[in-house]
């Protein structure tokens, strides 16, 4: 298939998957919306969908009409920070065909380790957040050695192993918090406050944007995207990761270090998730009080699949997910629709992307078309020669 | 040609007329093949691997559809679109690799897809066991209905396969190399059972290339070569020598110009290599040979006589039970592929789609797979993209790979061009030894000629070449000296291929002749 057709197919598939997901969402909203008559319900659905689709960027009010809302936009960008990191993390692991689900526990452990560094390490401002985030990333990278080495050496399923690891991480952190690290003077389980030197500061801090939490973490996330892109497409390690993901037998025969690369992909993935957790923690909070898995890792899986394991596409996918999430929040607030709907919309989109056979008939048609053109071109060339 | 006589016991149960099969990749596996079966006969379908036997039988069993031609079963012209159609018309197939569920019992396997139930919901195990026992007794095929398939020996698994086909009402049994996995004792047991089935009016197609077995058990035989039928014969009317000549002949002789080889020092040294496979079959039996710089040593032989196992050992895809392999004096057994490659060993693998390429990666990414760590392609942590582009473009040009650009996915290329990509990589990394395993299988004439010329050119420049090929034409034309493998042993060694004929080769390949130990020993040049 030509490149143009490949892009055309991907684009159409994405659009169709999103349309179907939205259609399903509209149907559910219609059923769950208030109103007794059909017309009322229809109106409520329309209102809800409007909130979901354009609400994240525009404030709709009866008096002032529709106006651009900068704060909501920055909130979406801020929400992209942790999911960009988990998305990148999952991309690199999935590209090597390693279905490691550890980004979820990874982001929590990274946040925890960075938080501890922010509380207990006396370091100067500027250096402090860097060290804290790196420690968070390193901790998770090291923990990911468990599923990675077990997979590479003993062929233990990294999926099962990492999935279980998430809960081990969560409960170990909860145990440490409850027993040793909590600030006993507070009414709930939370750590002592972070040192002020450790704060990752907001990019802009004025009245309009106050509380949007769009920190320099966003810039770091975008730099991470570029670095991951370079790593995957311009370095020998990323190359080995991708080749192993495509054909492991081929990679082994070519003389690549298959076991080492499998381990590398998961350690790098773990580092990214951990660093993302640290950046999120130091940018958004001033004490550590997470008592459950935050969910960013699961979103990261959706993002990686949407991005086709391509790091450069991760920001787009992360933006899409953050936008959708914000839209659903608004819909829940203003249009009386349960916020849980986002899970359903996410689920439907996920389903259509994960199902590789989706629209495969159409793809086959494009392949055949390309093949026929190729044959025609060859015949024409032969005719010219003859 | 012996024909069927309508209305008698000699009438045809199956007639396949002018069958042609062209696969989507353009390979014509069958070309105008006629094949027929009489009721109650055991009919051998013979030919080398790639001759088109399996394709023909897959079409009869509905696993493939013919491009053109007609299939008539019991006088009725059929479109056998799937195995269920074939089964409905009484055709059953016993595959070489058993299609059984290992964790289920024999009885459960027997009734798969037609499970007897209690009140329509629950599996009636007793009924399944009863059915199994009934059929086992009727056909004198002894199996243990309650044993798990994974626990029973290979011979019994095969009986289960045969019974499975019979339970489904098969009157015509296609057996794909049934003795390949059996011990001698199991084989003679199987033959008694097959004769028994024949006497009860069943028709059996026996796919094989083992001459002794064919002579012992079959009534008629059809010989295939290169997708064509070479005729139908009564087994009693032909000799082993005639069969061998019909099976292993050359159709078109492509000649490659080459100067006389001037062999130098020994590069690859293989000594007393022994390997027993997971089913306890001895695949390599005290194999010893040398390959010297500047010569092409060919390995001929019918497939399945140890060639695949040998190549696996040479590239650490498997470990032998005993023996040594050295390249320039360094032992390579168990060495990681990276290190084997660093010693200058290249391999053109037999299965190019599995080992040779990453189909959904670009041509460029495929040609650098063995050298991506080299200094010239890296600038610090990043690739030197310019050097990589240049390398890819150079190889595409030098090896005349027909493609749009270096960015095109290898999987989109034709078979011949895919193989050129593999060869471009394997020939261009300064090898001292090239192992070429079926280097031109299934690819077009142009690419074939190109690759053969390259091989000769490289050997004349002082590289040692080990050529493993089931293509007699190839192995006889290209090799400077040649060994024939049979049953994991070297059946013959020829230090000069000029005076060899197809007949002589055929006799050694099919095990009718075997050189003395001293003659074979000459392949070790120490």
Give B 358-377 residues with CB within 8 A of chain A.
358-361, 365, 368-370, 372-373, 377
Does residue A249 sit at the B interface (CB-CB below 8 Å)? yes
**Helix (H, G, I), strand (E, B), or coil: what is residue B112?**
coil
pLDDT band at B153 (very low <50, low <70, confident <90, very high): confident
Q: How many other CB atoms are there within 10 angstroms of residue B44's CB atom?
A: 28
Between chains, do A250 and B358 touch, taking CB under 8 Å as contact? yes
Higher pLDDT, B488 or A209: B488
pLDDT tens digit sequence for A141-196: 999 999 999 999 999 999 999 999 999 999 999 999 999 999 989 888 999 999 99
Question: According to DSSP H, which parts of chain A are helical?
Answer: 3-32, 38-54, 70-95, 103-120, 127-143, 145-154, 158-176, 217-234, 236-246, 248-253, 258-284, 296-306, 314-334, 341-354, 360-385
Does residue B319 sit at the A interface (CB-CB below 8 Å)? no
Which pLDDT score, from 0 to 100, does residue B316 have? 94
- Whether residue A318 is contained in a domain is answered as no
pLDDT band at B329 (very low <50, low <70, confident <90, very high): very high
- Say if residues B208 and B57 touch (Cβ distance below 8 Å): no
CA quadruple A124, A126, A127, A128: dihedral sign: positive
DSSP code, position B115: -
Between chains, do A250 and B355 touch, taking CB under 8 Å as contact? yes
Does residue A4 sit at the B interface (CB-CB below 8 Å)? no
B12-247 folds as Rossmann fold (3.40.50)
Between chains, do B383 and A239 touch, taking CB under 8 Å as contact? yes
Does residue B347 sit at the A interface (CB-CB below 8 Å)? yes
Nearest CB neighbour to A253, from listed B355, B381, B412: B355
- Say if residues B303 and B470 touch (Cβ distance below 8 Å): yes
Which pLDDT score, from 0 to 100, does residue B4 have? 46
Asked whether the predicted pLDDT for residue A356 surpasses 60, the reply is no
Number of domains chain A contains: 2
Q: Which of A287, A309, A331 is the last residue of a domain?
A: A309
Report percent pLDDT > 70 for chain A: 86
**Same domain? A90 vs A63:** no
- Say if residues A297 and A272 touch (Cβ distance below 8 Å): no
Does residue A234 sit at the B interface (CB-CB below 8 Å)? yes
- Say if residues A214 and A201 touch (Cβ distance below 8 Å): no
Higher pLDDT, A318 or B28: A318
pLDDT band at B5 (very low <50, low <70, confident <90, very high): very low
**Same domain? A94 vs A134:** yes
**Same domain? A39 vs A100:** no
**Same domain? A92 vs A195:** yes
Dihedral of the CA atoms B268, B269, B273, B275 (nearest 10)? -10
Nearest CB neighbour to B385, from listed A234, A250, A256: A234
Whole-number Cα distances in Å, B475 to B254, B372, B482: 11, 33, 8
Q: Which of A291, A309, A327 is the last residue of a domain?
A: A309
Which tokens is A229 given? 């892109």
pLDDT tens digit sequence for A1-55: 566 777 777 778 778 877 887 788 788 888 877 677 888 888 888 888 888 888 8
Q: Which of B337, B416, B435 to mutate to test the interface with A (most CBs of A within 10 A)?
A: B337
Which of B438, B491, B448, B442 lies closest to B468, judged by CA?
A: B438
Between chains, do B340 and A255 touch, taking CB under 8 Å as contact? yes
**Same domain? A9 vs A55:** yes
**Same domain? A369 vs A249:** no
Which tokens is A256 given? 């690549």
State the smallest CA–CA distance between residue B84 and chain A in angstroms. 25
Residue that has been written with the tokens 């991470």 in this structure: A224
pLDDT tens digit sequence for B285-312: 999 999 999 999 999 988 788 999 999 9
Between chains, do B369 and A1 touch, taking CB under 8 Å as contact? no
**Same domain? A47 vs A116:** no
**Same domain? A56 vs A86:** no
**Same domain? A149 vs A45:** no
Q: Which of A309, A341, A375 is the last residue of a domain?
A: A309
Residue that has been written with the tokens 């989706």 in this structure: A358
Asked whether the predicted pLDDT for residue B85 surpasses 60, the reply is yes
What number of C-beta contacts closer than 8 Å exist between A and B?
A: 67
Does residue B444 sit at the A interface (CB-CB below 8 Å)? no
- Chain A residues closer than 8 Å to B378 by CB: 236
User: What range does the domain containing A273 cover?
Assistant: 70-309
- Say if residues A209 and A70 touch (Cβ distance below 8 Å): yes
**Helix (H, G, I), strand (E, B), or coil: what is residue B71?**
strand
User: Cα-flanking dihedrals φ and ψ of residue A232, to 5°?
Assistant: -75, -40
State the smallest CA–CA distance between residue A359 and chain B in angstroms. 19
**Yes or no: domain B251-344+432-526 corresponds to CATH 3.40.50.920:** no
DSSP string computed for B328-354: TTEE-TT--HHHHHHTTEEEE-S-III
Which pLDDT score, from 0 to 100, does residue B89 have? 93
Which pLDDT score, from 0 to 100, does residue B245 have? 81
Which pLDDT score, from 0 to 100, does residue B250 have? 62
Q: Where are the domains of chain B?
A: 12-247, 251-344+432-526, 354-429
Which pLDDT score, from 0 to 100, does residue B7 have? 47
Average pLDDT over residues B406-433: 91
**Same domain? A102 vs A47:** no
**Complex ipTM value:** 0.82
- Say if residues A29 and A49 touch (Cβ distance below 8 Å): yes
Which pLDDT score, from 0 to 100, does residue B446 have? 78
Average pLDDT over residues B400-406: 89
Which tokens is A324 given? 């959708």
Domains B12-247 and B251-344+432-526 alike in fold: yes
**Same domain? A301 vs A369:** no
- Whether residue A333 is contained in a domain is answered as no
**Same domain? A60 vs A84:** no
Q: What is the pTM of this model?
A: 0.78
Contacts of B162 (CB under 8 A, 6+ apart): B94, B139, B141, B173, B175, B193
- Whether residue A315 is contained in a domain is answered as no
Contacts of A50 (CB under 8 A, 6+ apart): A60
DSSP code, position B5: -
pLDDT tens digit sequence for B470-484: 888 889 889 999 999
Between chains, do A252 and B337 touch, taking CB under 8 Å as contact? yes
Average pLDDT over residues A104-128: 96
Which tokens is B477 given? 């034309």
């Amino acid at each position: 298939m030509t490149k143009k057709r490949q892009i055309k197919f991907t684009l159409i598939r994405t659009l169709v998957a999103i349309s179907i997901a939205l259609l399903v969402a509209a149907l559910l909203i219609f059923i769950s919306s208030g109103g007794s008559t059909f017309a009322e319900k229809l109106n409520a659905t329309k209102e809800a969908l409007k909130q979901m689709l354009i609400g994240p960027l525009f404030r709709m009010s009866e008096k002032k009409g529709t106006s651009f809302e900068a704060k909501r936009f920055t909130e979406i960008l801020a929400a992209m920070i942790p999911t960009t990191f988990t998305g990148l993390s999952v991309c690199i692991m999935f590209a090597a065909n390693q279905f490691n689900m550890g980004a979820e526990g990874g982001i929590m452990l990274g946040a925890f380790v960075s938080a501890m560094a922010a509380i207990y390490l006396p370091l100067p401002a500027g250096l402090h957040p860097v060290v804290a985030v790196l420690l968070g990333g390193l901790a998770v990278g090291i923990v990911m050695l468990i599923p990675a080495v077990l997979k590479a050496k003993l062929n233990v399923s990294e999926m099962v192993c990492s999935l279980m690891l998430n809960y081990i991480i969560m409960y170990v952190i909860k145990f440490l918090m409850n027993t040793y690290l909590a600030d006993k003077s507070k009414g709930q389980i939370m750590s002592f406050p972070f040192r002020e030197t450790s704060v990752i500061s907001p990019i802009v801090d004025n009245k309009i944007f106050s509380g949007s939490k769009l920190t320099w973490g966003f810039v770091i996330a975008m730099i991470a995207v570029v670095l991951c892109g370079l790593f995957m497409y311009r370095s020998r390690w990323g190359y080995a990761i991708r080749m192993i993901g495509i054909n492991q037998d081929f990679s082994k025969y070519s003389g690549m270090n298959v076991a080492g690369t499998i381990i590398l992909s998961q350690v790098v993935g773990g580092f990214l998730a951990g660093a993302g957790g640290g950046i999120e923690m130091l940018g958004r909070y001033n004490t550590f009080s997470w008592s459950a898995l935050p969910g960013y890792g699961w979103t990261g899986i959706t993002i990686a699949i949407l991005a086709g394991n391509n790091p450069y596409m991760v920001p787009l996918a992360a933006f899409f997910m953050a936008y959708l999430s914000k839209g659903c929040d608004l819909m829940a607030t203003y249009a009386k629709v349960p916020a849980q709907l986002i899970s359903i919309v996410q689920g439907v989109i996920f389903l259509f992307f994960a199902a590789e056979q989706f629209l495969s008939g159409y793809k086959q048609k494009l392949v055949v078309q390309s093949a026929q053109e190729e044959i025609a071109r060859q015949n024409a060339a032969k005719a010219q020669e003859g | 040609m012996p024909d069927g006589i309508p209305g008698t016991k000699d009438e045809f149960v199956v007639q396949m007329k002018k069958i042609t099969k062209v696969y989507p990749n353009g390979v014509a596996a069958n070309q105008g093949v006629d094949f027929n079966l009489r009721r109650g006969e055991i009919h051998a379908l013979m030919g080398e691997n790639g001759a088109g036997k399996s394709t023909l039988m897959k079409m009869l069993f509905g696993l493939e559809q013919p491009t053109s031609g007609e299939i008539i079963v019991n006088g009725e012209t059929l479109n056998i679109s799937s195995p269920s159609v074939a089964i409905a018309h009484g055709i059953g197939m016993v595959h070489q690799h058993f299609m059984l569920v290992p964790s289920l019992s024999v009885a459960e396997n027997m009734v798969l897809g037609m499970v007897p139930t209690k009140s329509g919901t629950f599996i009636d195990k007793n009924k399944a066991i009863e059915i199994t026992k009934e059929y086992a007794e009727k056909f004198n095929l002894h199996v243990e209905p309650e044993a798990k398939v994974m626990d029973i020996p290979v011979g019994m698994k095969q009986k289960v396969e045969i019974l499975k086909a019979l339970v489904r009402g098969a009157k015509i049994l296609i057996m794909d190399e049934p003795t390949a996995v059996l011990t001698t004792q199991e084989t003679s047991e199987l033959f008694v059972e097959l004769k028994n089935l024949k006497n009860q009016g069943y028709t059996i197609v026996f796919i094989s290339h083992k001459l002794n077995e064919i002579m012992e058990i079959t009534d008629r035989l059809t010989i295939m070569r290169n997708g064509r039928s070479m005729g139908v014969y009564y087994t009693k009317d032909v000799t082993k020598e005639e069969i061998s000549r019909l099976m292993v002949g050359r159709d078109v002789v492509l000649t490659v110009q080459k100067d006389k080889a001037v062999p130098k020092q020994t590069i690859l040294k293989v000594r007393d290599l022994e390997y027993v496979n997971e089913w306890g079959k001895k695949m390599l039996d005290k194999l010893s040979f040398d390959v010297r710089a500047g010569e092409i040593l060919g390995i001929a032989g019918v497939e399945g006589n140890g060639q695949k196992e040998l190549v696996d050992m040479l590239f650490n895809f498997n470990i032998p039970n005993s023996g040594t392999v050295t390249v320039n004096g360094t032992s390579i057994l168990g060495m990681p592929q990276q290190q084997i490659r660093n010693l200058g060993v290249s391999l053109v693998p037999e299965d190019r789609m599995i080992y040779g390429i990453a189909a959904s990666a670009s041509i460029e990414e495929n040609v650098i797979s063995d050298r991506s760590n080299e200094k010239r392609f890296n600038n610090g942590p990043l690739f030197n993209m310019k050097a990589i582009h240049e390398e890819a473009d150079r190889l595409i040009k030098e090896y005349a790979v027909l493609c749009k650009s270096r960015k095109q996915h290898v999987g989109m290329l034709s078979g011949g061009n895919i193989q050129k990509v593999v060869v471009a990589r394997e020939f261009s990394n300064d090898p001292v030894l090239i192992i070429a395993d079926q280097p031109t299988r299934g690819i077009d004439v142009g690419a074939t000629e190109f690759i053969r010329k390259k091989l000769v050119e490289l050997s004349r420049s002082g590289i040692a070449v080990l050529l493993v090929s089931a293509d007699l034409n190839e192995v006889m034309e290209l090799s400077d000296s040649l060994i024939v493998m049979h049953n994991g042993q070297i059946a013959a060694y020829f230090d000069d291929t000029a005076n060899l004929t197809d007949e002589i080769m055929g006799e050694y390949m099919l095990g009718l002749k075997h050189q003395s130990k001293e003659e074979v020993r000459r392949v070790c040049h120490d």
